[in-house]
Structure 1
């Protein structure tokens, strides 16, 4: 009887021990799985905001017809956008919150496009960073005008033999999109447009614009001259940190001082503001921008806007139409900026 009692107690002890071991194993497995999940989340988080990436990526949550996005750097709701890029005229687009470079919305943002005159943003920032004195004089030569009129390039209105300050050429590049200003500033700085384009491609590489290659300073069509709206957003985000670039980019009207060919100077008007007219956004304003157009590139626009005291940049490209048709690049900008809610 004693032996049977001992055996019975031993059996109960073994059962209890097994139950305890199973419970402990379950807790340990659960902990390991949760730890693994946390590690995966952390890995995804750090991949998305890697310092090697210019932009922070955002997770999208779709509720009905609204696209709501969360920044990985914050735990609360950052933005909501009451529109979809699918409804835009532009097949390629990207919207960025400028302060933290958060990508709010994007549509085929890494697809190659032809940038047309959006190229001139790179021309201007590279020129600014390589000029010894923005007030130094530059003389335009006949050679600088060769082929521009034949290519139907936009012109600022300077003439061969005219002596112009470098800063006036930069305004001539950005506001009326003057091709002769691009060539003049490029030759002044680098000796030739080809050498200046090397500086543009070097800057693109420095900025991590991996899907960009420039062949000229003007944006005139060339099959090897391409970029993406995402790369252009990287460029504009960078360039706007430069005070001189920002001042030029956000100027509506600019008058040059008298020159040897224009005793009254020349007055430039921003092509974007001209096409925008009296239109603007509801809870803010469009601060500046650069338009672009070629038959191959379509209607393009790079713009800066302030909505509810926050700055955003929008790059759109490829909208059908021309300078004489409805300006779908402007229409798209108004639609997107008006949809931003915080």
Structure 2
């Protein structure tokens, strides 16, 4: 009896072992595990087709070719706004006096570092600057108060030297302190042919200068700021009488805004030393050109030079 019982137990144990072994083999086959002594066949991987990297389609670009326009300005420079390619260059890298195009830097620093809603009181030095030097002006009166935003229109449209002084007094304590910021920012923008000695460009000194190439680089950067772009593209700006100031109407000195199709600004300038100057941007058929003319003999010829240069640029083939 005991022997039969023992044999039965042994058979049960053997059966359990066989069952456990079968289950283990089944589980390992599902999991892909190979036990020692077992052979396995690696599955053949399904090749994944490589996706070719798409080759970008080059955008057509303006290509300078043919005879260049003949201008009377001593310095001229034209650039494709989209890619920075230089299309026309007459002495563009040479330092030259740039008159009130200086105010591009003055406005840009004021926009980037000031509070546009800040109230600024016009001081007497702004008024005396106009009286003593005969600078172009916005007609500001000592004691009047304007926001910085309003003074920027007085700076850029009528080319107000008094607005430049008022802004620099408020933001830096004095025009001299503001000039330090201008030269520092010029260095940061790698404008290596540029140096400022004043905030409005009215000077007979040869230590205040820039180049057409530097002015173009500066203005391309400035135009990325929507406030700057809006101001320089404004033909006329009117302020009614308030408790803070009298009435003012400022008209943009860039007459091409109303006479040249697609003109978008930017800034005029004139001194005896610099001649008649203009930094400009224009757009046609969705394409923008930016450029500079310096030292034209008079305003009419300056505008003719700019129009001729732009007409030539917009007429170039796209390749």
Q: TM-score range by the shorter chain?
A: 0.7 to 0.9
- Single out whichever of 76-85 and 231-240 deviates more from structure 2: 76-85
Structure 1 spans left out of the alignment, 5+ residues: 1-72
> Displaced runs of 4+ in structure 1, greater than 6 A?
none
Is 1:89 matched with 2:72?
yes
1:82 positional shift: 5.7
Is 1:140 matched with 2:117?
no
Find the counterpart in structure 1 of residue 259 from structure 2: 279
In structure 1, distance between residues paired with 2:209 and 2:232: 22
In structure 2, distance between residues paired with 1:315 and 1:81: 20
Find the counterpart in structure 1 of residue 38 from structure 2: none
Is 1:336 matched with 2:309?
yes
Change (3 A) 1:139 1:82: farther
Match 1:229 to one of 200, 209, 212: 212
In structure 2, distance between residues paired with 1:272 and 1:117: 12
Task: Give the SS at the match of 1:125.
Answer: helix
1:253 positional shift: 1.1
Change (3 A) 1:82 1:118: farther
In structure 2, distance between residues paired with 1:240 and 1:278: 20
Aligned Cα RMSD in Å? Answer: 1.9
* Alignment map for 1:137-216 (pairs within 5 Å): 137-216=119-198
Task: Give the SS at the match of 1:212.
Answer: coil
Find the counterpart in structure 1 of residue 105 from structure 2: 122
* Alignment map for 1:102-113 (pairs within 5 Å): 102-113=85-96
1:327 positional shift: 1.8
* Alignment map for 1:20-35 (pairs within 5 Å): none
1:150 positional shift: 2.3
In structure 1, distance between residues paired with 2:259 and 2:74: 23
Q: Give TM-score scaled by structure 1 length.
A: 0.71
Task: Give the SS at the match of 2:269.
Answer: strand
Q: Specify which structure has the bigger relative contact order, considering alpha-carbon pairs within 8 angstroms and separated by 6 or more residues.
A: 2
Find the counterpart in structure 2 of residue 66 from structure 1: none
Change (3 A) 1:158 1:260: farther
Task: Give the SS at the match of 2:290.
Answer: strand
- Indicate if the aligned counterparts of 2:233 and 2:257 stay in contact, CA closer than 8 A: no
Structure 2 spans left out of the alignment, 5+ residues: 1-56
- Single out whichever of 328-337 and 228-237 deviates more from structure 2: 328-337
Change (3 A) 1:137 1:312: same
Give aligned pairs, total.
258
